[in-house]
Chains A and B, each alone.
Chain A
Amino acid sequence: MPGREFSMCRLSLPATCLLLLTLAGCAKNPEAQFGWRDSTEQLIPDARKAVQKTMVDTFGTPQDLVAWGRLPVEYGGQPPGVAPAETPEEPADVTTSAEPFGHQMQLGRLVYMKNCLHCHGVAGDGNGPTARYLNPRPRDYRLGVFKFTSTLAPERVTRDDLHRVVKYGIPGTYMPSFLLLGDAETRAVVEYVRWLAMRGEMEKRIDDELADYSLASIDDEISKAKNAYEAAKAAGESAETPPSRSALVKKASEEFKTYLAEDYPEAVDGTADFIAENWARAEDEASVVFPKVARVADDAASRERGRLLYLSDKAKCYTCHGHTGRGNGPATEDFWPKPGSTEKYANRGLHDVWGNKLAPRNLRLGQYRGGRRPLDVFRRIHAGIKGTPMPAFGGTVLKDEDIWDIVNYVMSLPYEPEVPTAGQPPSQVAASSRH
């Protein structure tokens, strides 16, 4: 009997191994994860952990979404009970409506994972597996900035704007039309994208609050101290040796402990309020751009006025879009500084806030990324294009009538022959034709 038991034990080990080997291929795919911003990864460990905990508590993970009641997001259905500040995504099985709370987000996530993820990435960072092959790059939602909106320059994007983009795509880019997606699916995915954008914005803004606790700022401090030390040594004075990195990280960690206890909750609260307010305000009617006057009659006189404005120092359209509208203005030949610094981009030409090189639109293609309705083009000029060097002209620089003249001129460009004198005011044209 003992001998038999022994042989069974001896057999069980290889048998188990064999069993495990056969199961190796059955492993589930690695779970989707919301990746962290570089700025989060760059924080000192304690700060990073605090940010990551906040993000997981308030937004959850792709498998376990959290419906944070503070955000202006329609999660779908009624939140269970009296909605507290934080509502778990999956409530106990009691629900008031037919659909469980959060069903819209669940559907949105599903649609997003099927159709959007491979370009826009799990966290909406515009860095999915196919993103690297695309030019222009897919949108990184995490700044909370979207280019083609109907809202005033400082406002966020509206649901309707995102709905339009999903439905009709963006011509001239790789964003295709999802016209046949179905209304519930489109609404759900729009809500999910808004939520991802808020999530990304939240992470970025908290990181910005914690900039003092980033490794970059510590490195900065070290290099400053080093320079001071070198200078002092060169001058023959005695100086403190520059502190080591680990010592500074330790010091920052100590400081962060008090910050975490005293100021951090307030910082998170303030950021959440700020984001919630901004995203809610975008849906206000007052945030949406509507012209005060109807489109000026699209005649030769209006187009001529538009052309002169296009070339004027008031609007300066030609500096980027070129004298004949080909998108090759002199600004595309310059080196431009990076936002918030004096350092310049390595390449000539304009860049957007995501750091991608950006060609001013060639207005002669008849391709309108933000939509081809006169209203859409009006909004582009009135409120600018968010995240790009295209400024907002509405209200201050140009009157609505002026904008309509430019719209009429710009929309006529694809059908007009490109004459070499188009870039000059009429007086010069007359003068040159006399020669």
Chain B
Amino acid sequence: MGRFWAVFFMVFAAACVGLCLVAPQYGWWFPGDGKAHTTLGQKIDDLFYLILVIVTVTFIGTQIALGYVLWRGATHDPREKALFSHGSHTLEVIWTIVPSGILLFIALYQMDVWAHYRIKTYFPQKLEPVAEVTARQFEWRIRYPARGKKLMPTPQPDDIYTVNDVRVPTGHPVAISLRTEDVQHSFFVPALRVKQDAVPGLVIPVWWEMTDTGTYDLTCAELCGWGHYKMKAQVVAMPEADFEAWKSQTAAEQFYDGVPQAAAEVAQRPADE
């Protein structure tokens, strides 16, 4: 019976490792194409993989040790007298210092990414926000400044509005001002590795830098009420020039007065938009 358990635990550990190795091929991994689409997101992924390697090595090492001990215990001569040990000072020092060293390394190593996000290069307040994103039950309402203008803390007559559609330019870091109109929400864009709670009464700057264009899912990651699941939106990253053109077009649509001669280019039926 002892041998069974030794084999069982080894097979179990091997299955765990094997499952982790094949998981990415089955899409059981990061959302979307598995890559982070922001500069910082890639660093966060690097941290994740570093920790994954450390944990994997530790896991395999401890499982092998466990297997060895189990197998030895199962196969030793039953007439042999058991060895009694009061403990080993050296061993205890080793298994205290080694994990402490690893933890200390992780704690120090990750600080760079954290500082990069919060303090170093693009501390959000040095970035002009491209939009104000307001979460409410159960949608995202977005306010952009007019083309060539800065976002003001309060609405301006020429602001541009969208709903469930966050547009950002690529090529440089962008920031948004995150607010909530009612309860707590969370601005979560898995493919960008961006997640930030929206807290009532606060305007929270969130920044990132796209690495490529594309459309990414934005969801609410804070259970905010019965319609939480409805807070599906998109983040669309587009080249700077396209972004500006989109702003002009959206502004023209928003200030459409219904007289086609005046705004022929935006005289579209809403169903065709």
Contact = CB atoms under 8 A, between A and B. Distances in A.
Interface of A: 115, 118, 130, 133, 159-160, 163-164, 167-169, 171, 174, 176-180, 187, 289-291, 293-295, 366, 372-375, 378-379, 404, 411-412, 414-415
A22 B258 CA distance: 64
A167 B163 CA distance: 9
Given A179-B233, A295-B257, A163 B164 contact: no
A168 B163 contact: yes
B259 A295 contact: yes
Interface stretch (B5-13, B65-73, B98-106, B134-142): B134-142
B163 A169 contact: yes
B138 to A, nearest CB: 5
Contacts of A375: 256-258
Given A174-B137, A179-B164, A366-B155, 9 more contacts: A118-B226, A167-B273, A179-B234, A294-B259, A294-B262, A295-B262, A372-B161, A374-B258, A415-B156
A180 B234 contact: yes
A176 to B, nearest CB: 4
Given A169-B163, A375-B257, A176 B270 contact: no
Contact of A414 (B155, B232, B233): B155
Interface in B228-273: 230-234, 253-259, 261-262, 269-271, 273
A160 B271 contact: yes
Given A179-B165, A294-B259, A373 B227 contact: no
Given A160-B270, A160-B271, A169 B139 contact: yes
Given A159-B271, A176-B139, A293 B259 contact: yes
B230 A115 contact: yes
Contacts of B155: 366, 414-415
**Which 8 pairs across A and B sit closest by C-beta, in order of nearness?**
A375-B258, A295-B257, A179-B164, A177-B163, A176-B139, A294-B259, A294-B262, A374-B257
Interface string B133-165: 000011101000000000000011100010111
B258 A290 contact: yes
Category for how many chain B residues contact A? 20 to 34
A415 B255 CA distance: 16
Contacts of B138: 174, 176
Contact of B163 (A179, A374, A378): A179
B157 A411 contact: yes
A320 B253 CA distance: 30
A373 B251 CA distance: 10
Nearest to B232: A180
Nearest to A298: B157
B230 A374 contact: no
Contacts of A168: 163
Contacts of B234: 179-180
Contacts of A176: 137-139, 227, 230-231
Given A160-B271, A167-B270, A294-B261, A373 B253 contact: yes
A169 B230 CA distance: 12
B136 to A, nearest CB: 9
A379 B257 CA distance: 10
A378 B257 contact: yes
Contacts of A180: 164, 232-234
6 contacts: A163-B271, A164-B270, A177-B163, A179-B234, A295-B259, A415-B156
A133 to B, nearest CB: 8
Most chain B beta-carbon neighbours within 10 Å: one of A115, A159, A294:
A294
A289 B141 CA distance: 28
Interface in B113-150: 137-139, 141
Nearest to A168: B163
A118 B138 CA distance: 14
Nearest to A115: B230
B165 to A, nearest CB: 6
Given A130-B226, A176-B227, A180-B232, A187 B257 contact: no
B146 to A, nearest CB: 13
Contact of B257 (A159, A294, A366): A294
Contacts of B233: 179-180
B258 A291 contact: yes
Given A176-B139, A176-B230, A294-B261, A374 B256 contact: yes
Given A177-B139, A373-B255, A187 B164 contact: no
A291 B271 contact: no
A169 B138 CA distance: 10
Contacts of A372: 161, 254
Most chain A beta-carbon neighbours within 10 Å: one of B157, B256, B257, B269:
B257
A294 B264 CA distance: 12
